[in-house]
Amino acid sequence: MSKLAKANGFRMWRNAVSFFQGWIMARGDGNPLGLKKMQATCANLGEHEIDKSCYLGLMGEGYMQMGDLKQAADTLDEALKLVKHTGENYFTAELLRLRGDVERRSGDKTSAEQHYLQEAIAFARSDCVYAPLAGRAPSLVE
């Protein structure tokens, strides 16, 4: 797909391929170069905002898995800000769930964690959801 996208000038698809190659590297074996590839792809998106909140969410999850909770929180906050700007909500519930998970992993079991998780559940139950959260519901009650 990458060769086809490059040959035909499909920048959006080239970015998607590049991002998910990085995601597989980071998610599969914890390779930090995967996160760097994801970062480079997000930087390459420029003003292109379609799917960027999803990319930022997955990148935030990568930071969280590698133990960089500060960067995870910052990246997820950027994604949530972008969602408010664009109205692209298909990944919003998952962003909120991930943000709550960052709070939980930080060891600070505060109302912030509960706030994000309750907001994720409420959003997932709302009318404007595509429900990427469906397979993850059990982690919300841990």
User: So what's the pLDDT on residue 123?
Assistant: 85
Q: Where are the domains of the chain?
A: 1-48, 56-142
In this prediction, residue 142 has a pLDDT band, given cuts at 50, 70 and 90, of very low
Which residues neighbour 66 within 8 Å (Cβ) at sequence distance 6 or greater?
A: 26, 30, 32, 35
CA-to-CA distance for 60 and 29, rounded, in angstroms? 16
Distance of CA 43 to the CA centre of its chain: 15
> Given a cut of 60, is residue 5 above it in pLDDT?
no
pLDDT digits (tens, 9 = 90+) for 32-83: 898 899 888 888 877 778 888 999 999 999 999 889 999 999 999 999 999 9
pLDDT digits (tens, 9 = 90+) for 92-137: 999 999 999 999 888 866 788 888 888 888 888 876 654 444 555 5
Which residues neighbour 90 within 8 Å (Cβ) at sequence distance 6 or greater?
A: 54, 129, 130, 132
CATH 1.25.40.10 fits 56-142, yes or no: yes
Per-residue 3-state assignment (H helix, E strand, C coil) for 68-125: CHHHHHHHHHHHHHHHHHHCCCCCHHHHHHHHHHHHHHCCCCCHHHHHHHHHHHHHHH
In this prediction, residue 10 has a pLDDT band, given cuts at 50, 70 and 90, of low
Distance of CA 102 to the CA centre of its chain: 12
More confident residue, 73 or 13: 73
> Given a cut of 80, is residue 8 above it in pLDDT?
no
> Given a cut of 50, is residue 141 above it in pLDDT?
no
